Amino acid sequence: MSGTPVKAAVRTLQKTRSAARGALMWGYEQRLTRAVKGHGKLPRHLGLILDGNRRFARAAGLQREMGHSFGAEKAHEVLQWCLELGIPAATIWVLSTDNTSRDPQELAHILALLEKEARNLATDPRIHANRVRVRAIGQHANFPSHVLTALRELEERTAHYDGMRLNIAVGYGGREEIVDAVKTHLQMQAAAGRDLSEVAACLRPDDISAHLYAADIPDPDFIIRTSGEIRLSGFMLWQSVYSEYYFCDVYWPGFRRVDFLRALRDFQGRDRRFGK
């Protein structure tokens, strides 16, 4: 019994320290928010590579599928952060073409999440209040019909909106996007009766850019990748030639608002020279 008061005092001290740390972090986050908003320079198009879902689950002792579920919840949070700051466009990379060859059970879980989240976004008050136009980009021909229906209905319900542009990159690969753009250009030129040698002689970068999946919005000027991996892995290869990059050590489900604000503050401190 003599140890009970001591243990209670230790628990009280631990709670007090935890509350103090929370208050300090909250205050720091508020200062960061004011600094980022006060600077005024924000990305016109933010790219997000959502990496580390499975490693997050493994580190927490959870099934790998749970990492994707937590990752989907985090994507909703980050959408809110973008809306609060007024970022005009964002592309989130949910599923790569390489990932479509993963274990069938894991892939089925990811696609079920995709369908669920597409239906949630279609009725999300934030989407409609902020007039967010949502589009799925990538190669989706092999997706189940019910997933395709959910994505199509989401796109149709937001197609007339003129607010933030949100691209969901799913079944997406940068090389595949470039190949698709070249194919489209060649098909259009062939339909116009032009000779292949003539098309090749006149081919310009703008001809490719015009047929990319999200050709109607600016190239991403800032790309964030979570999980500590320092590579693009094929994300928007054509469009990212002058992008600024930020690699964050935390796994995607653990990505905090303070991490997001730190990344933006880092972007605001850079001098973009566009190769000059």
167 is catalytic: no
130 known ligand binder = no
51 is catalytic: yes
Task: Give the residue ranges of the chain where pLDDT is below 70.
Answer: 1-23, 276
Q: Which of 114, 104, 112, 123 is nearest to 170 (CA)?
A: 114
Active-site residue among 99, 120, 180, 259? Answer: 99
pLDDT of residue 3: 58
165 known ligand binder = no
pLDDT tens for 127-169 read: 999 999 999 999 999 999 999 999 999 999 999 999 999 999 9
Q: What's the topology of domain 41-268?
A: Undecaprenyl pyrophosphate synthetase (3.40.1180)
pLDDT of residue 12: 52
pLDDT of residue 68: 96
pLDDT of residue 10: 47
195 known ligand binder = no
Active-site residue among 51, 124, 219, 221? Answer: 51
CB 176 within 8 A of CB 238: no
233 known ligand binder = yes
158 known ligand binder = no
